[in-house]
Amino acid sequence: MKKFFKRLLIFVLIIVIIIAFSSSYSALNIDNLATVVALGIDTSDTNTLRLSFQFTLPSSVSDSGSSEQSPSIIYTVDASSISSGINLMNTYIGKELNLSHCKVIAFSEELASRGISNEIYTLINDAQIRPSTNLVITKTTAKLYIENSKPTLENLLPKYYEVFVSSSKSTGFTSNATIGHFFNSMTCNACDSYAILGGISSENSESSTDINSQKDSSGKSNESPLANHSNSENTGLAVFKSDKLVGELNSIETLAFLLTDNKVNGFLVSVPDPEESNRYIDIYLTPITKTSIDVKIVSGTPYISLKYNLSGRIYSMKSNSKYLNPKTIDKISASCSSYLQSTLSSYLYKISKDLKSDINGFGKLAKSNFLTNNDFENYNWSEKFKDSFFDISVNSSVRSGFLLTET
Amino acid sequence: MTHSKLNTVEAISIILSIFVAHTLVSLPRNLIISTKSATIINLIYVGFIAIVLTILIVKLFKNFSSCDIIDVSEYLGGKVFKQIIGIIFIFYFTFNASILLRNFCEYLKIVYYPMTSIVFILLLFIIAVCVANKGEFETISKVNLIVLPFVLITVLFIFFANTGHLSLENIYPILGDGFFNTFISGLGNLGAFGGIAIIYFLPPYLNNPEKFKKISLVSIGISIIYLILCIATILFMFSSIMQVDEIMPLYSAARYIEFGSFFQRLESIFILIWILEIVCYLSISVRISMTTLKKIANLSTSKPLILNFGLLIFTIALLPKNTSISIFLENTIYKYLVIGIVLILSITILLLANLKKKRLGGTLENEKIL
């Protein structure tokens, strides 16, 4: 009899637990979910926010895993907050929105200029949002940006969103900027945050008329030199002070940011040819050592010393190149160092004097000059950063060409 | 006494599991909140004090080999005092286990079971603990010995897999909120060493009581290294940790781990391992409480108490009205319970018992009790 009651108890417990947990299972069942791959957030004329949700159709992926280019669906709703917009959308589509596969969150430039801390806190508070979700600030509306995010060399949209910033390691013209990192920097008292600068490339892109090889690296999103191409693009960085967008970095400035932050493996720069005026040489540079940064407080002002160590090989070739001649190589190295020094200097003074935003987190290093948090807070780093003085030393040693050394 | 015996490694893993279980929920953040960027220095400092206290405890137990703190209390103050101390320790173990369980289940609910009532999530753990305690203590310790290395590996993995996200500069300003905060009021971080409580109950369970010193010191040493690793991961990763309260900081750190697009969301595996560790921790706490009650109530067996303790933990876990209360209980009350009961009360009992023994020498009374 005792055995019977024991078994009965076990049976009842199993039934109770199955019933209790089935509700969570149903709520997270793939049949009841609508998977969002990108979220666009704009300002709205009729309400506080305009939310655009991009979905892909799961049925477009065949059983074998290969697929036709997956069509995407975009729904837009005006709402007072992100959570309220999600709620409205749940009602409209008859499924529950799931953000656990959301790869991109795009904010319009207009909204970002007003401040996005509420939205960022809300998104970080959502257990479904991954900290690795990319954060994009769009030069156009966020809706237009995600509408134009069409993978041309990828079949799957989520895959495209996952790899679209991977070029940052080899070009330095864009950077991986995630919501997790943005949130950490936004709440940090010794650094500021940044996001990917997105836009639409089209024939009507804003562009300047001067033509030289330096122009290739001075563009940013919405200023694309790509021809016959209408698609979203991610070039440059959006710079924030606290939660407000305060400026943008173009390609070469983004490269300077990444180089300072040790986040680029190699990059191509066009430096003036020391042998021939009005000509540029393309050099592929790779950092040999990590950038050494030292922050001191001299007479109450931040004094930041940066040492860059790079090695390079000449990419562009012409006839009568004497790249085995030590003097020529030394001259090219000096030209390269001088070019990088001026680029880095203009970048560093731009973020400190113009934008007043410490996106490289020099403040964290400055903390080593203070014994206590109180001392650091009293110093008021975010205010003092604009007075920073930068001592930049670039040592680039150009070796030779790649396969050709002399022509 | 008819205790199943533990070997050295099992005993170390039991002490460690108490430390580890608390770090999985919110202990690392509490430590960082109290001493900010100086937490690592503070941990080295309080770790040194913890080692000194452990040496003291071991030394004080030398005259009471194979006795636990309850036996020592009986020797010191008789049966009534033994019962009071026994009840205090039962309260300590059940209360801490209940609150930790409640918070862990709250977080599980947020992340994985949004539509399930917390009652049922708690119930799952209680069933597991009751079933585990049906076996001998040896069984629990052996299971714990299997689970614990995996937990330690997950924490090591979180640290090394996140090296790209670590900012070592977060250790500055080196003194955090100042010398007083780091070294004087920072002594409150001794509350992280709640695992010492198990040391008081370990001697009767040991296969080789002569290894008591080694077991205690090794476990405290590993705990200090483990705590420093946890703190380093969180402190170096999150600049926001001092401003924003994130649930389960180690879980938050695990969410950042990604190896390309193939290995993602590894935190799900970690949660599974951590659930097993929490069950081990609860089982150890229940077993120690049961044995203590058996001892103070002069019961012949502790097995019928399993359900009672299971229900007691379940009920205490349901008492906090909301998460803010349960977090307050875990963050603040736990720390003071450790300092008050584990460090001050217990060491005082041991000191007085040793003084009594020294005073009475080898009298008949002394021999009779021990």
Q: Map out the domains of chain B with their CATH numbers.
A: 8-369 (1.20.1740.10)
Q: Using a CB–CB cutoff of 8 Å, tell me whether B243 touches chain A.
A: yes
pLDDT digits (tens, 9 = 90+) for B110-145: 888 888 899 999 999 999 999 999 988 889 999 999
What average pLDDT does chain A have? 84
Q: Residue B366's pLDDT is what?
A: 45
The pLDDT of A368-386, averaged and rounded, is: 92
Q: What CA–CA distances, in Å, run from B173 to A189, A365, A374, B296?
A: 12, 10, 9, 50
- Checking if the pLDDT of A216 tops 80, the result is no
Q: Single out the residue of B22, B19, B25, B17 nearest to residue B145, CA to CA.
A: B17
Query: Is A261's pLDDT higher than 80?
Result: yes
CA distances from A271 to A313, A317, A340, B182 (A): 12, 13, 8, 52
Q: What pLDDT does B264 receive?
A: 79
Distance, CA of B94 to CA of B289 (rounded, Å)? 7
* Contact indicator for A400, B204 with CB cutoff of 8 Å: no
Least confident range of A159-173, A205-219, A311-325, A354-368: A205-219
ipTM comes to 0.86
B370 contact A CB<8A = no
Q: Are A105 and A39 in contact (CB under 8 A)?
A: yes
Query: How far apart are the CA of B174 and the nearest CA of chain A, in angstroms?
Result: 6
Segments of chain B with pLDDT less than 70: 1-4, 261, 362-370
Say if residue A157 is exposed, middle or buried (CB neighbours under 10 Å; 0-12, 13-18, 19+): buried
Residue of B nearest to A193 (CA): B239
What is the tens place of the pLDDT at every residue in A50-98? 999 998 776 555 444 554 555 778 999 999 999 999 999 988 888 889 8
CA distance A275 to chain B (A): 41
Domain A266-407 sits in which CATH superfamily?
A: Nutrient germinant receptor protein C, domain 3 (3.30.300.210)
- Summarised one tens digit per residue, pLDDT across range A146-156 is 888 877 777 77
pTM score, two decimals? 0.88
**Spatial separation of the C-alpha atoms in residues A280 and A285, rounded to whole Å:** 15
| Secondary element (H or E) of residue A306 | strand A301-314
- Chain B nearest CA to A371, separation (Å): 5
Determine the residue of chain B that is closest to A121 in CA distance: B244
Q: Which of B111, B167, B178 lies at the smallest CB-CB distance from A364?
A: B167
Among B33, B129, B130, B239, most A C-beta atoms within 10 A, so best to mutate, is B239
Confidence of residue A321 (pLDDT cuts 50, 70, 90): low
Chain B interface test: which of A86, A121, A371, A378 (most B C-beta within 10 Å): A371
What are the start and end residues of each CATH 3.30.300.210 domain in chain A? 266-407
Given this model, what pLDDT does residue A360 score? 93
Counting residues of chain A whose pLDDT is more than 70, the rounded percentage is 86
Question: Of B122, B240, B265, B275, which to mutate for an interface test with A (greatest number of A Cβ within 10 Å)?
Answer: B240
**Amino acid identity for residue A280 in this structure:** Y
Q: Which stretch of DSSP H or E encloses residue B159?
A: helix B137-161
What pLDDT does residue B364 have?
Answer: 39
Reading the block at residue A217, the tokens are 């690296």
Query: For residue A106, what pLDDT is reported?
Result: 94
Identify any residues that bridge with B263 across adjacent strands, giving them in sequence order. B259
Say yes or no: A17 contacts chain B, CB-CB below 8 A: yes
Residue A13 has its nearest CB partner, among B117, B127, B169, at B127
Q: Could you tell me the pLDDT band of residue A6, with boundaries at 50, 70 and 90? A: confident
Residue A31 pLDDT level (bands cut at 50, 70, 90): confident
Query: Does any CB of chain A come closer than 8 Å to the CB of residue B36?
Result: yes
Q: What Cα–Cα distance (Å) separates residue A293 from each residue in A306, B136, B167?
A: 5, 59, 14
